[in-house]
Amino acid sequence: MAKIKRIFTDEERNKKILKEKKKLSIITKDMSPEQKIVTGPLIDNIAFCVVQLEEVKEMLNRDGFYERYKNGKNQYGNKESITSKQFINLGKLHTVLLNRLKDFIPDGSHGKDELEKFQKKYNKS
């Protein structure tokens, strides 16, 4: 099986994650210090997911959703790629994390408006 080639360098990935964390920090600016302690890891994981989704999406564009397999002499065909499974799992995790973060934002607050804009931008389903 071929080794999956990454799209971003570690430095590029870290810069992108930091940029996403800065975007998300707007949401928490009016939260209490206790809430920020709890939401900090959520924001870290959301930022990570956004960047990983971007990278996996580029890999899918490059390699496709399916890969060839061969099990023995006459058993071969196409199957869903590992990368496509990663994309689906990351998308689910991203949604769960956003919903958990949303639970910390009171209705009608400025942060919720920002989160909704963020969700609309990245959840174009």
- Tell me the C-alpha distance between 51 and 1, whole Å: 25
Per-residue pLDDT at 114: 65
Per-residue pLDDT at 50: 96
Q: Give the pLDDT confidence of 97-115 residue by residue, as tens digits.
A: 999 998 888 665 555 566 6
Q: Give the pLDDT confidence of 64-87 residue by residue, as tens digits.
A: 999 988 888 888 899 999 999 999
What would the two tokens of residue 64 be?
Answer: 């496709």
Provide the 8-state DSSP code for 123. -
Residue 53 — φ and ψ, nearest 5°? -60, -40
User: Contact, 25 vs 36, CB < 8 A?
Assistant: no
Residue 112 CA to chain centroid, in angstroms?
19
C-alpha distances out from residue 109 to 30, 34, 80, Å: 9, 18, 42
Per-residue pLDDT at 124: 60
Q: Give the pLDDT confidence of 11-54 residue by residue, as tens digits.
A: 999 999 999 999 999 888 888 899 999 999 999 999 999 999 99
- Provide the 10 A C-beta neighbour count for residue 68: 9
At how many degrees (to 10) do helices 33-63 and 82-102 cross?
160
pLDDT greater than 70 at residue 88:
yes
Per-residue pLDDT at 53: 96
Give this prediction's pTM.
Answer: 0.75
Per-residue pLDDT at 1: 43
Per-residue pLDDT at 70: 86
